[in-house]
Amino acid sequence: GTIRYASVHAHLGRTGSRRDDLESLAYTLIFLIKGRLPWQGYQGDDKSFLVCKKKMGTSPELMCCFCPAPFKQFLEAVINMKFDEEPNYAKLISFFESLIDPCIPLRPIRIDGALKVGQKRGRLVINLEEDEQPKKKVRLGSPATQWVSVYNARRPMKQRSQMLFHVSVTSYQSCRYHYNVADSRLHQHVEKGNEDGLFISCVASAANLWALIMDAGTGFTSQVYELSAVFLHKDWIMEQWERNYYISSIAGANNGSSLVVMSKGTPYTQQSYKVSESFPFKWINKKWKEGFHVTSMTTAGSRWGVVMSRNAGFSDQVVELDFLYPSEGIHRRWESGYRITSMAATVDQAAFILSIPKRKTMDETQETLRTSAFPSTHV
């Protein structure tokens, strides 16, 4: 129940499972043998964030250095369990037999009670010596800048919806894309697209350059945009709200600038946005209760920008917040009928908004693709 021993998923506000209980047990065991955990000593309002980040970034090898080998084996097995996986208690206990057996003559330690509990629950696997299939690790590597694309398969046309870097994009029959666009060249691409009857459906940024998708299937009737050195320029946005434009897409650059696209012809009836130094989950939760849903997100450096709208067409919405790509959480949400509708990320964190539409869509599946460069061949 304390920050020191909480599982990573508990920090991220996710539903707990037996995996999380075992992760907390692992931290407790390591603390008892070492007397200290790597994340002790953090203070301040962002203590939980810093502790969670440290837990996520500390490998079992580093965590369990100077500990007997079974502690590392136990931690590795636990953190790579799936959410609803049945723990193999007998195997977890067996890790420590090499430590317990030599102590029995001096200090008898009884573990038969734990074994009986496992047997009653039907969770013991008899053939502990057999090689198991290698598991796909739940926590992999360190965060890296990458493009994340999301594809929706629809009937009857194979239209695809895509998220580039952090932002949602849609690819229709009449569509074009531009990437690695400098500030000075942005206007000519947009102007040419407008002349051809296209509107911006998505913008994104990487390395202080812009990417945009323009297509004829947005349903927008008019559109304005501003490229500003100010992250989400408040005065300009409020002026456009007065003219009945609504934010339809946003992107932030590493240098703090932003590109805001506002359109007429959206279903929105009211909007609110927030700029924050950390992911504004409390604000989002408050707005959910007021009938708003997240419709756009972006970041600039370490700052978050989140736009929420009324009449967004969603019946429910959730957030998957992680330090890496949350593959497991996204797949569980997909199984429950959610679809990714917004994304954003800083160097430290990635946030995925998943929503259930009010109207039943023709989407059959949604898939994600992660690439180190703009996915032009996949678009």
Instruction: Render pLDDT for 54-69 as a digit per residue (tens, 0 to 9).
Output: 998 899 999 999 899 9
Rounded to 5 degrees, φ, ψ at 175 are: -150, 150
Yes or no: say if 214 and 179 are a contact pair by the CB < 8 Å rule: no
Is the model more confident about 157 or about 135? 135
Q: What is the mean pLDDT of residues 184-203?
A: 95
Mean pLDDT value of segment 230-239: 96
Half-sphere exposure of 304 (CA within 13 A, CB side): 27
Number of H helices, E strands in the chain: 12, 16
For the chain, percent of residues with pLDDT exceeding 70: 81
Tokens of 336: 């429950």
The shares of helix, strand and coil residues in the chain, as percent rounded to the nearest 5, are 30, 30, 40
The residues, ordered by sequence, that sit 6+ positions from 173 with a Cβ below 8 Å of its Cβ are 157, 159, 216, 217
User: Which pLDDT belongs to residue 2?
Assistant: 84
Lowest mean pLDDT segment, chosen from 30-34, 49-53, 108-112, 320-324? 108-112
* Mean pLDDT of the region 326-331: 89
The pTM is what? Answer: 0.74
Q: Report, as an integer, the average pLDDT of 99-122.
A: 60
Q: Which residue has the higher pLDDT, 131 or 204?
A: 204
Give the bridge partners for 252, in sequence order.
258
- What is the predicted pLDDT for the residue at 234? 96
Per-domain boundaries in the chain: 8-99, 267-378
Q: Which residues pair with 370 in a beta bridge?
A: 148
At residue 360, does pLDDT exceed 80?
no
**Can you name the CATH fold of 8-99?**
Transferase(Phosphotransferase); domain 1 (1.10.510)
Mean per-residue pLDDT for 158-172?
Answer: 41
Top pLDDT among 340 and 45 is at: 340
Average model confidence (pLDDT) for the chain?
A: 84
Q: What is the pLDDT of residue 334?
A: 92
CA 257/CA 203 separation, integer angstroms: 13
> Is 208 in contact with 229 (CB distance < 8 Å)?
no
Lowest pLDDT segment from 49-63, 206-220, 349-363: 349-363
Q: What is the predicted pLDDT for the residue at 155? A: 52
Tokens for 26? 């692992």
Q: Is it the case that residue 128 has pLDDT exceeding 50?
A: no
Amino acid at position 71, single letter? F
Question: For residue 320, what pLDDT is reported?
Answer: 92
